[in-house]
Structure 1
C-alpha cells in the first residue's frame, strides 16, 4: 500500500495515495499508532507549524513530561553559584528541583539564598519542602496557563511605568521612589526568565502546538529578543534611579521639561512597538523604527542647550539622556523583530 524508506532519525518516507474522487490518504506507522493507544475511528489533530510541516497528535497526547532533578551543594557553594544553577534548571524546564548538601546539612545562609531567589526571581514556583537537609522547589504554573505574548505585554507595562516613575522621581528628587523603581526591576527579570522557560518548552515538545497558548516555533527567536530588549529597558530605568540617589542637589527646573518630553517620546515608541507586536502590524512597526531614528537628534539638541548646572548635575543629565535614548534604540529593535515576523503576510498583501 505504501513505500517506506528508513533513515537514521527514525523518520519515514510514505507515498500519498489517491482515494475516491477528491481525497488523499497517507498510511500511519503501525508502531506509532500502537504507542499512542489509538484505534480505528479515533480522531487526530492536524496542525501546520508555520514552516509547511504537518504535526499529527492525538487528544491523549496533549500533555508534557514533568521533569525533576537534584542539585548538590558544597559547604563552600557561594551565592552566585547557587543562583545560577537553580535558574539554569528552572529555564531548562524542570518542574521539581530538589536541593541538598553533600555534607547532609545546608548552611542557614544557603537556605536563605535559595528562598529569596524563589521569591524574587522564579515565576510560578513554590517551596514545598524546607529543612536543613533539603529544599524542594515545585513549579506549579502549567506552561499552557500563561500566554507568552501576555507576559511580554506585562513586562512592557511594568517597564513603561518604571520610566514614567523615574521622571517623576527626578522632578521631585524622590529617593524613596528611586528605591522602589530599582526593586521593580526584579519583576521584569522574573518574567524574562519565565519567557525563556516557556520558549524552551515550545522548542523541546513536539506536541507543544497542541497545548493552549503555546508558541509557534517560528516566533521563538523573535520573542526571546524582545524579552531581552524589555529587560534592558528596565535596567536603564533602574540605573537612572541609582544615579539620582547619588546626586546631592535636585536638577534645575529648566532641564526637567525637556527630560520629560524626551522620555515621553521614547516611552511612546516602546508602546507602539509592542502594539505592533500584538497586532502583527508591519506598517506600524516600520513607522516606529523610522521614528526612533530621531532620538539621537533630540538627545543632542538637549545636550547643546545652555543650562547652569554643577559638574555632578551635568554628568547626571548626560547619563539620563543616554538612558532615555536607549529606550528608543531598544524599541527600534523590537520593531525590527516585528518586521521580520510579519514580512510574509505583508508581501501577500502587496
Structure 2
C-alpha cells in the first residue's frame, strides 16, 4: 500500500447506512468540527473524492518581485506562469529601473488575459486579481470560441490569396491576441484541475482523460493561430510583383480550411470517421506542398518572391499537421473508458 494511503473498514449502522471514520490528522489540519459538511464526488475510476469547502474560501495569493537584471519579456513569462498555476491574487513589486517591465506586464494583462484586473496600484507595486471563474465559461465553450475565431482568421487569409486586402490581413493579426486570451484562460483552468484545486466537472469536463486531451488540443489551436498570423504578416510585406503568384496557393489554402474545420468538428462530435478523414486530408496537403515547391523551383522565381511563397506553404503544412493532431485526440476521446473489474 502506498505510504500516503489510509486503510479504513466499511461498517454498517442503522441496518442500511455505510460509514467509515475520517483520519484524525486530516480532520485537524482542515479544522473540521461536528456539524460541518463534506462534499463527496464519485470519479470515473470508481474512487470517491472528499472535500471540505468553507463558505468563504480564501483566494490563492502569491508575490512576485521583478528582477531588474531580467528582460521585460522574461518578467512577463514569470507573471504568466503565476496566472497559469491558478493564483487569484498576484502582488508584483517593482524596484527602481523596472518601468519597462511594469509596462510590459500591464500590456500582457490587457492583450493576453481574460478577467484579470488591477485592484490596487502604487509607484512600486501592483496587485492584480483574476475575476473570471470556471463556472462562468467552461473549457468546452472556451474552446468553441477559440476554434471559431481561429477558423475565421484562416478563412480570411485564404480569401486574400485571390486579392490582397490589407485591412482584413491587419485585422487577422490583431485577432491572434484574442486566441491567446482563450488559450491562457483554458490552460489556467486545466492546470487547476491537475493540481487538485478544481474537479474536471468544475470546468465542464467529464474526467482527467478529457483534461489531458483538451490541454493538447488548445496548444495545437494556439499554434495554428500563430501560423495564420505569420501568413498574414508575410502577405502584408510581399512585394507587388509577388502577389500574382498567390492565387496558385489558393487551392491548397481551401483544403487547409476544410481540414482544420473538420478536425474541430470531429473533436466536438467525437466523430471517429471524420477524424480519420482529417488525418488522410493532412497527408494529401503534404503532397500538395511538395508539388508546389517543385513548381517554385521549376519557375526559377526571384528569391524575393520564392521565399515568402515557400514560407506560406510551410505554414499551411504545419496547420494541416496540427489539425491531424486534433483529429487523433478526437479519436482517442471517442473510445470509451475501460471499466474496472473486480476479480
Smaller-chain TM-score range? Answer: 0.7 to 0.9
Question: For the structure 1 residues 139 and 324, does the alpha-carbon distance in structure 2 shift closer, same or farther, using more than 3 Å as the test?
Answer: same
Deviation at 1:38, TM superposition (A): 6.1
Deviation at 1:279, TM superposition (A): 1.8
Is the aligned partner of 1:313 residue 2:305? Answer: yes
**Secondary structure, aligned partner of 1:143:** coil
Residue of structure 2 aligned with 1:269, choices 255, 259, 263: 259
Deviation at 1:154, TM superposition (A): 1.6
Give ranges in structure 1 of 5+ residues lacking alignment: none
Q: Counterparts of 1:1-350 in structure 2 under 5 Å?
A: 8-9=3-4, 11-16=5-10, 25-29=18-22, 31=24, 37=33, 39=35, 45-48=40-43, 50-57=44-51, 60=53, 66-102=59-95, 107-205=98-196, 208-209=199-200, 211=202, 213-214=204-205, 216-251=207-242, 253=244, 256=247, 258-305=248-295, 310-344=302-336
Question: For the structure 1 residues 225 and 72, does the alpha-carbon distance in structure 2 shift closer, same or farther, using more than 3 Å as the test?
Answer: same
Using structure 1 for the length normalisation, give the TM-score.
0.82
Q: Deviations over 1:243-293 (max 9, x none)?
A: 22332115455751x422222211211111111211222232223222322
Deviation at 1:214, TM superposition (A): 5.0
Q: Deviations over 1:82-139 (max 9, x none)?
A: 2011111101111111111345xx7543332221111011221011122212111110
Worse-matched range after superposition: 218-227 or 170-179: 170-179
- Give the aligned length: 334
Q: Deviations over 1:55-92 (max 9, x none)?
A: 2457x569865211111124444311220111111011
Question: For the structure 1 residues 246 and 252, does the alpha-carbon distance in structure 2 shift closer, same or farther, using more than 3 Å as the test?
Answer: closer
Contact 1:148 1:215 in 2 (8 A): no
Question: For the structure 1 residues 339 and 212, does the alpha-carbon distance in structure 2 shift closer, same or farther, using more than 3 Å as the test?
Answer: closer
Deviation at 1:212, TM superposition (A): 5.7
Structure 2 Cα separation of the partners of residues 149 and 283 of structure 1: 21
Deviation at 1:19, TM superposition (A): 8.3
Question: For the structure 1 residues 214 and 343, does the alpha-carbon distance in structure 2 shift closer, same or farther, using more than 3 Å as the test?
Answer: closer
**Secondary structure, aligned partner of 1:294:** helix
Give ranges in structure 2 of 5+ residues lacking alignment: none
RMSD of equivalent CA atoms: 3.2
